[in-house]
Amino acid sequence: MNPPTSPIILPADALRLALAGLGRVLLRTITLPVLATVRVIRHRGTITLAATDFDLHLCYTHRTEHPPLTPLAQALAEMRWAREPAEGICVPSAALRGAAKAKGEILIAADRLTFSTGAGDTTLPFEGLAVEEFLWLEDEHFSPVCSFDAPSRTALLHAAHFGSTDETRFVLNGVHLESRAGDGKPAEPVVVATDGRRLYLHPLPAIADLPENIILPSGALNVLSAPALRDRDWIFMFTKGKETVRPPSGAALADYAKALAAWNAATPAARKLVDKPKKPVSEKIPATPRARFHAGPWELTSKIIEGIFPNWRQVMPQFADPITVSFTPAQAGQLRTILAQWPKLKVDNDAITLAFPGTGMRLSDKNGTVHLLPGVHSTQPIGISVNRKYLADAMALGTPDLRLFSEGDPLDFMIGAARVIVMPLKGDPVRVEDSAKFVAEMNWLGGTVRLPDKHEGEVLAITHNGSKLVATVSDPPRAAIQRVPLETLKLLSRPVAAAA
């Protein structure tokens, strides 16, 4: 393809929008310079900007003229486009980022960018590469599968947060789109993601026509999560790919001819000691399945992760008579705030202990941080330890109903149509037999009370004295702290969530 014979004129706003998505594909640390370039092509009334990292291919299309609406206009446009062959150049992404601050239009020539920043014209030279050096996919037939609406897009993007980032567990570095059972017959369509310690599951009826189960890389979902693509409907397409044949290179054939000539020129005795050179043959390249997403002016093509996704059904809890913990939206919001403000200290795998005495919730860690959340109801007392980040990620999805069975079993979060399974942490047993003290802490700790002498104070701690509960109360009028039987106090007000 020829470099531009006249500058390609691109509005600065279009460049900024394009870089917002292409920046998620462009590699900063590279060995091939072409992977740090953006391919810019002017053709058939459009300007396309594309980036690739081998696995992902993202293209943004900016129309320089309105598409023809009538047959006559289409015929005239085809005649004009036939006289205007495609022209393009690969521009270093650093140069385009420098031009993104421009106002008005950017002129892209074969070796320079020209633009105005409001304080005069700027010329930014660059060393471009030929379009032929840009690694791009061959055209293949992609079959439409479905269109993802807002709820489906949200489910996919949520799933991406629960996949693994461990490169040694490659098949977990993405989300599993499942539309087929083990025998290949249609099954309930779902999206699943796991990192081996937690699992996300959500029904996804849109992919019912997907011809086979696939693992979509997390990198593709990272691109799709960019605001420029996220807020548009996605048209999802799929191809199984096709087997191709790569003929032997000219260098390989030349080496063969030279080796064969040398073998033929050797003596019979020498030829017996060396095998006759074999002529290079064409190499069969197996088909590569790919997924493609159209989102307005964007087109993302992604390779599929090869491998078999684990049998996620084996880890799904099967509770016969679970303990259930229910949250109101207000309580879920309070819990999210507590977790966001929790001290960022790595203690025993970021462990946090949850205790549900029946009424209320107590959160604590081995650093001495304690938070109380009154009003949370559990059908039985239970305690469990879990990774704080995993708990926060599950709570970020909404207001859950939590199911438990014992302290060694997974936590099962039901959040709308989504389901999140989190494995507990092993450690010392969490004892919640003393339900009365826990309930008293939930209702009284940090609250304002009236003492028997009519003074008001704040409850600092609750302890046992035999079979009775005793409150440690600050008494500001007397500048004193005293211990008083809890039953003799009157609770005037309590904080929404007390912390100690």
Do strands 351-356 and 359-364 pair parallel, antiparallel, or not at all (unpaired)?
A: antiparallel
**Weakest mean pLDDT among 304-313, 322-331, 444-453:** 444-453
Q: Is residue 395 part of a domain?
A: yes
Q: Is the pLDDT of residue 434 over 80?
A: no
Q: Is residue 374 part of a domain?
A: yes
Q: Residue 113 to residues 70, 117, 122, 310: CA-CA distances in angstroms?
A: 36, 12, 8, 50
Q: Is the pLDDT of residue 483 over 60?
A: yes
Mean pLDDT of 326-355: 87
Mean pLDDT of 345-358: 80
Mean pLDDT of 452-475: 85
Q: Are residues 15 and 123 in the same domain?
A: yes
pLDDT of residue 303: 92
pLDDT band at 433 (very low <50, low <70, confident <90, very high): low
Mean pLDDT of 452-457: 88
Q: Is the pLDDT of residue 85 over 70?
A: yes
Q: Is residue 429 part of a domain?
A: no
CATH of the domain at 461: 2.30.30
pLDDT of residue 77: 67
Paired strand residues for 482: 473
CATH of the domain at 32: 3.10.150.10
Please tell me the distance from the alpha carbon of residue 34 to that of residue 40, in angstroms, as a whole number: 13
Paired strand residues for 370: 364
Q: Are residues 200 and 297 in the same domain?
A: yes
Mean pLDDT of 264-268: 88
Q: Are residues 273 and 299 in the same domain?
A: no
Percent of the chain exceeding pLDDT 90 equals 43
Q: Is residue 199 part of a domain?
A: yes
The structure tokens listed for 454 are 């009519």
Helix axes of 388-395 and 329-340: crossing angle, nearest 10 degrees: 140
**What is the overall mean pLDDT for the chain?**
87
Across 351-487, where does the E strand assignment appear? Answer: 351-356, 359-364, 370-378, 382-387, 401-404, 411-415, 418-422, 448-450, 456-465, 468-475, 480-485
Q: Is residue 185 part of a domain?
A: yes
Condensed to tens digits (0 to 9), the pLDDT of residues 385-414 reads: 999 999 999 999 999 999 998 878 899 999
- Domain boundary (133, 151, 180) is at 133
Q: Are residues 174 and 295 in the same domain?
A: yes
Q: Is the pLDDT of residue 35 over 70?
A: yes
Q: Is residue 439 part of a domain?
A: no
pLDDT band at 498 (very low <50, low <70, confident <90, very high): very low
Most confident option among 246-255, 342-351, 395-404: 395-404
Q: Is the pLDDT of residue 455 over 90?
A: no
Q: Are residues 281 and 291 in the same domain?
A: no
Q: Is the pLDDT of residue 226 over 50?
A: yes
Q: Are residues 351 and 277 in the same domain?
A: no
The structure tokens listed for 142 are 């992609």
Please tell me the distance from the alpha carbon of residue 101 to that of residue 54, in angstroms, as a whole number: 29
Number of structural domains (the chain) is: 5
- Domain boundary (422, 453, 483) is at 422
Mean pLDDT of 20-45: 85
Condensed to tens digits (0 to 9), the pLDDT of residues 133-175 reads: 887 766 678 889 999 999 999 999 999 999 999 888 899 999 9
The structure tokens listed for 477 are 């009028």
Q: Is the pLDDT of residue 90 over 90?
A: yes
Q: Are residues 296 and 188 in the same domain?
A: yes
pLDDT of residue 435: 60
pLDDT of residue 235: 96
Four-CA torsion 66, 69, 70, 76, nearest 10 degrees: 20
Q: Is residue 499 part of a domain?
A: no
Give the amino acid at 340.
A
Q: Residue 405 to residues 47, 317, 325, 374: CA-CA distances in angstroms?
A: 59, 9, 11, 22
Q: Are residues 298 and 150 in the same domain?
A: yes
Q: Are residues 128 and 171 in the same domain?
A: no
**Weakest mean pLDDT among 97-111, 229-243, 450-464, 483-497:** 483-497
Q: Are residues 256 and 328 in the same domain?
A: no
pLDDT of residue 500: 39
Mean pLDDT of 436-450: 79
Q: Is residue 440 part of a domain?
A: no
Burial of 31: CB neighbours in 10 Å, binned 0-12, 13-18, 19+: exposed
pLDDT of residue 390: 94
Q: Are residues 39 and 188 in the same domain?
A: no
pLDDT band at 30 (very low <50, low <70, confident <90, very high): low
Q: Which residue has the tokens 């304080």?
A: 119
- For residue 155, what are the domain limits? 143-242+287-303
Q: Are residues 291 and 188 in the same domain?
A: yes
